[in-house]
C-alpha cells in the first residue's frame, strides 16, 4: 500500500464536494478530491443544476423582493416541524452568502427564473426568484475541462429556463443548441460542475478519478485518512486536517433502501454509483443518522433498452403530467392525485398503502393521453414527430387501453368521462389541478381556460408506465453547524465532515422549490470547507 499525505480529502465530486474543496483551499489547505467514477460531477452534473436560495442578491438585482422572515415562515411549513429551527435559520442566512461567494470568487454564475415555489399558495412563498438557474458556461478557453465533466441524458444544451420557455417543438432554437455543443458550452448541472472544477483548478486542488474509498483510517480516536481501491491497487491516503464525505446517497443499493426507506425497487434517476459508501463508513465510525426514511421522490418513466453507464436509464416525469390532455391512473383505472403537484409530493401518493386490500394500489401507475396530446407534446425523449414507440400501450377506446394495461375497464372509462366533462370547462373538482401558480408553471399557456386541463377525446389512446423513483436519498449522518459529523451523544467525530446527500437534509420530509436539493448541498459544502479552512487543526 502506498502512503499519500494531504491536508484535506474530499470524497465525491458533486456540487457539495467541489465547493467544500474550493473553500478548504481558500483557507490554505492542500486538498485532494477522490472520485469513484472516471469523470467529475456526480449527480449534480446530470441534474437541472438549479439552486433554491431565498432573499439572494441576485433576486434583488432583478427587482424580486424577498425577506428572511418570509423564507423561514415558508420553510417551517415545508419541513413539517421535523427540522431544528437553527438549521433553517442557518440555511436562510448562509445560502445567499454562498451565491455571493460563488459570483465573487469563482466562474459560476446564476440568474433567477420565474419558477414558483413548490407550495406557491402557502404563507411566505414566492412565485419568482428563489430558484436560480446557471448561466451557460463556456469551456473553449479551458482546454481539457469539458472532457473531465460528467454529462447526462436528461438535458440538452439549454438552460432550464429555456427548456421551459421552449415548451413546444416550433419554439426550440436548434441553431443555438448546435452552436453550444460545437463550442463546448455547458448548461444546467454540468455548467455548475464545470465552474466549480475550474475554481478548484485555480486553487491547486488535486483530483483522482476511478478511486473508490472503502474505509476511514482512525487513529487515536481521530479520522486520519481513508483506505481506497484504485486502478493500481489498494492505497492509503492520509489527511492531517480532515476528511469530507460528499459521496451521495444510497439510492442504488437495494438492501439499504429496503432497510431504511421501507421500499425497494424504486427507480433512481441519478448515475448508478451511489451505493451509500460514505454512509456505511460514517456508521462504522459511530455517526448518528436522521431522516433515513426520506428521499427526494420523483415519478419516473423507463424506456426499455435505454441505458446510462451500463444501467437502465430512468427519466424524471415532469411536464407531461401537468400539460392539458393527460391524466395519471392506478390499477383501478382511477386518478389518485393532482398530477401537477411538485414531484416530491406527487410521488408520495404512489407509495400509499391500502390496508384493506393489503397492497400499494398506485404503484405502478400509468400516464394516459390521447392522440391530440401525443401530436402536440414531447413525452420524455419522444418528440411529437417521432414514430409511436413500441413501449407505448395503445387502444382505440379507453376500455381497450385498460384491457391492454390490465387495469379496471369500467374504472378507466368512468374516470375519463368524468374528467373530460370538467376539463372542457377548465375545472378539476376532484383534485384542483391548475389552481396554483406552481401547477400552471408547466401548463400550456396557449391553452385555456386552464393551461393544465383538456379532455382526452381523440383516439387512439395511449399509456406509459409510471413508477415511483428518486433523485437521491435524503437521510444521512447528522452534522453540526460547521459540517462536523456527530455521534449519538452530539459530540463530533474528530476529523470527519459531511455534506450533500450523505448527510441528513435540512429540508426534512419537504421540498421547498426547484433547487431544494442542490441548495442545501452547496450550503453544506460551503460550511465544511469554511470550517476546515479556518478552524481545522493539523494533527501533529
141, exposed or middle or buried, with CB in 10 Å at 0-12, 13-18, 19+?
A: exposed
Residue 401 is placed in which grid cell? 387501453
Q: Which of 286, 270, 212, 299 is nearest to 501 (CA)?
A: 270
Residue 60 is placed in which grid cell? 434583488
Tens digit of pLDDT for each residue in 293-337?
999 999 999 999 999 999 999 999 999 999 999 999 999 999 999
pLDDT-derived band at 166 (thresholds 50, 70, 90) equals confident
DSSP-derived 3-state class of residue 131: strand
Q: How far apart are CA 148 and CA 134, in angstroms?
A: 19
Q: Which of 429, 426, 403, 417 is nearest to 457 (CA)?
A: 417
Phi-psi region of 309 (alpha: psi -120 to 50; beta: other; left: phi over 0): left
Helix (H) or strand (E) holding 279: helix 277-284
Q: How far apart are CA 26 and CA 200, in angstroms?
A: 10
Tens digit of pLDDT for each residue in 453-467?
999 999 999 999 999
Walk me through the domains of the chain, giving residue ranges and CATH numbers: 2-212+474-535 (3.50.50.60), 298-470 (3.90.700.10)
pLDDT-derived band at 59 (thresholds 50, 70, 90) equals very high
Task: Please check the confidence at residue 426 and state whether its pLDDT lies above 90.
Answer: yes
Residue 205 is placed in which grid cell? 486542488
Q: How far apart are CA 23 and CA 536, in angstroms?
A: 12
Q: How far apart are CA 335 and CA 323, in angstroms?
A: 15
Q: How high is the pLDDT of residue 3?
A: 54
Q: How high is the pLDDT of residue 536?
A: 53
Q: Which residue has the higher pLDDT, 359 or 24?
A: 24
3-state secondary structure 482-501: CCEEEECCCCEEEEEEECHH
Tens digit of pLDDT for each residue in 268-283?
999 999 999 999 999 9
Q: How far apart are CA 324 and CA 369, in angstroms?
A: 9
Sign for the CA dihedral angle at 513, 516, 518, 519 comes to positive
Q: How far apart are CA 364 and CA 407, in angstroms?
A: 11
pTM of the full structure: 0.96
pLDDT-derived band at 535 (thresholds 50, 70, 90) equals low
Tens digit of pLDDT for each residue in 9-36?
999 999 999 999 999 999 999 999 999 9
Amino acid at each position: 500500500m502506498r502512503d499519500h499525505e494531504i491536508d484535506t480529502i474530499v470524497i465525491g465530486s458533486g456540487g457539495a464536494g467541489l465547493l467544500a474543496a474550493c473553500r478548504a483551499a481558500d483557507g490554505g489547505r492542500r486538498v485532494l478530491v477522490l472520485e469513484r467514477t472516471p469523470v467529475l460531477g456526480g449527480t449534480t452534473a446530470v441534474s437541472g443544476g438549479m439552486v433554491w436560495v431565498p432573499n439572494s442578491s441576485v433576486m434583488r438585482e432583478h427587482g424580486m423582493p424577498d425577506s428572511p422572515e418570509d423564507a423561514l415562515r415558508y420553510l417551517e411549513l415545508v419541513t413539517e416541524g421535523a427540522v431544528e429551527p437553527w438549521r433553517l435559520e442557518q440555511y436562510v442566512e448562509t445560502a445567499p452568502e454562498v451565491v455571493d461567494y460563488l459570483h465573487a470568487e469563482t466562474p459560476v454564475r446564476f440568474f433567477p427564473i420565474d419558477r414558483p415555489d413548490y407550495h406557491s399558495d402557502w404563507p411566505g412563498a414566492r412565485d419568482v426568484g428563489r430558484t436560480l438557474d446557471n448561466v451557460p458556461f463556456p469551456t473553449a478557453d479551458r482546454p481539457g475541462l469539458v472532457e473531465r465533466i460528467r454529462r447526462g441524458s436528461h438535458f440538452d444544451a439549454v438552460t432550464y429556463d429555456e427548456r421551459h420557455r421552449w415548451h413546444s417543438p416550433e419554439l426550440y432554437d436548434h441553431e443555438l443548441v448546435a452552436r453550444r455543443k460545437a463550442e463546448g458550452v455547458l448548461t444546467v448541472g454540468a455548467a455548475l460542475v464545470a465552474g466549480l472544477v475550474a475554481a478548484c483548478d485555480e486553487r491547486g486542488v488535486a483530483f483522482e478519478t476511478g478511486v473508490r474509498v472503502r474505509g476511514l483510517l482512525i487513529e487515536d480516536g481521530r479520522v486520519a485518512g481513508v483506505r481506497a481501491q484504485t486502478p493500481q491497487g489498494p492505497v492509503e491516503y492520509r489527511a492531517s486536517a480532515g476528511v469530507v464525505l460528499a459521496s451521495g446517497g444510497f439510492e442504488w443499493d437495494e438492501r439499504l433502501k429496503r432497510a431504511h426507506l421501507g421500499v425497494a425497487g424504486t427507480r433512481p434517476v441519478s448515475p448508478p454509483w451511489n451505493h451509500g459508501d460514505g454512509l456505511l463508513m460514517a456508521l462504522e465510525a459511530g455517526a448518528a443518522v436522521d431522516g433515513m426514511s426520506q428521499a427526494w421522490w420523483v415519478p419516473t418513466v423507463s424506456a426499455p433498452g435505454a441505458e446510462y453507464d451500463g444501467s437502465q436509464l430512468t427519466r424524471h416525469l415532469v411536464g407531461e403530467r401537468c400539460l392539458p390532455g393527460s391524466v395519471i391512473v392506478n390499477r383501478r383505472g382511477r386518478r389518485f392525485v393532482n398530477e401537477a403537484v411538485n414531484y416530491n409530493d406527487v410521488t408520495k401518493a404512489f407509495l400509499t398503502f391500502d390496508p384493506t386490500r393489503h397492497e400499494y394500489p398506485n404503484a405502478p401507475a400509468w400516464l394516459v393521453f390521447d392522440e391530440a396530446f401525443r401530436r402536440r407534446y414531447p413525452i420524455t425523449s419522444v418528440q411529437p414527430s417521432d414514430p409511436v414507440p413500441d413501449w407505448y400501450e395503445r387502444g382505440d377506446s379507453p376500455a381497450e387501453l385498460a384491457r391492454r394495461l390490465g387495469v379496471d375497464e369500467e374504472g378507466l372509462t368512468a374516470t375519463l368521462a368524468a374528467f373530460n366533462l370538467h376539463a372542457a370547462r377548465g375545472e378539476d373538482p376532484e383534485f384542483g389541478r391548475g389552481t396554483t401558480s406552481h401547477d400552471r408553471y408547466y401548463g400550456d399557456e396557449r391553452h385555456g381556460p386552464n393551461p393544465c386541463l383538456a379532455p382526452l377525446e381523440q383516439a387512439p389512446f395511449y399509456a406509459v408506465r409510471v413508477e415511483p423513483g428518486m433523485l437521491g436519498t435524503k437521510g444521512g449522518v447528522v452534522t453540526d453547524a460547521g459540517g462536523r459529523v456527530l455521534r449519538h451523544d452530539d459530540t463530533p467525530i474528530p476529523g470527519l465532515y459531511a455534506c450533500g446527500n450523505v448527510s441528513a437534509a435540512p429540508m426534512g420530509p419537504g421540498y421547498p422549490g426547484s433547487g431544494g436539493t442542490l441548495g442545501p448541498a452547496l450550503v453544506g459544502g460551503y460550511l465544511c470547507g469554511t470550517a476546515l479552512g479556518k478552524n481545522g487543526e493539523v494533527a501533529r
